[in-house]
Amino acid sequence: MAEKRGRGPKKPKEPARDEPERTPEAAPQQQDWPSPESALRGARGTRTREELRQQLKERDPASTDGEVAFPDEPEIEYERSVIRIPFYLKRASVAGKARNVDVMNFDAYMRIIREAPVRSGLGVRQFEFYIDAWELTNTLSTGLNADVTFTLSDTVQPKSICVALQRDSDYPAMMIYNAIYDVYLGSERIIEKQPGTAFASPVWTTPPRNVTVAFEKPFSSDLFDFSAGTCEGMRSITRGDFETAVAEARRLREKGGPPRPTAA
């Protein structure tokens, strides 16, 4: 008789494991994230350049003396400086001799709209500002025998910024200027809506004094080229001084300036 084959000894049952109770998938928890002072501007809304110009008070030029921190309040500020730009001439001549470079020393005037400083997500203080007006005098190019003027374009202007280089104090800081501008030769506009940027560091006051601002404003035409330049001697001025200079700059541009003698 055939021997029955058994299935062998039964394996002991493993103890029941406590299965976790299945629940609906929980929503991801919100991660901690820096909440800088600058984030509050979104809740308050951002004022336009035009609104700021109408609402802000003007800064007293004397208030810049002894400055140790960014100005606390948003303000309108008027500034004067000297801009040096080498013009690389292509077809101009003076006294019958070729003149390859004409170094221009413009007197520059700006109206700045400066917002209140805030602390950013990086933990450093900063303030943003607009270049709201920009005009030049002392504009005669001997090589071109004409006035060359710069003015802000009639378009939306980018913001500029000043940022502290450390967390425990406002100065020294780094300042970056941004603007979109037009260039005129006499009364003729030869370039429109040209972007330009400028940089200064270290900055110890607002506006930056005793420091050179380096800028790039590239341009090329059939008559001349220019690109890099510098800005020095920046200081605060009164509104009256600013408006007098602006009127002169606009007269040169709109009327082509006074007659210029023809080079011999």
Checking phi first, is residue 145 left (phi over 0); if not, alpha (psi -120 to 50) or beta? left
pLDDT at position 261 is 45
Is the whole model's pTM more than 0.85, yes or no?
no
Here the tokens at position 14 are 């493993």
d(CA 136, CA 143): 18
pLDDT at position 71 is 94
pLDDT at position 252 is 87
Residues in the chain with pLDDT < 50? 43, 92, 257-264
pLDDT at position 151 is 95
Q: Which residues pair with 78 in a beta bridge?
A: 111, 237
Using an 8 Å Cβ cutoff, are 94 and 140 in contact? no
Output the average pLDDT for the chain.
83
d(CA 61, CA 65): 8
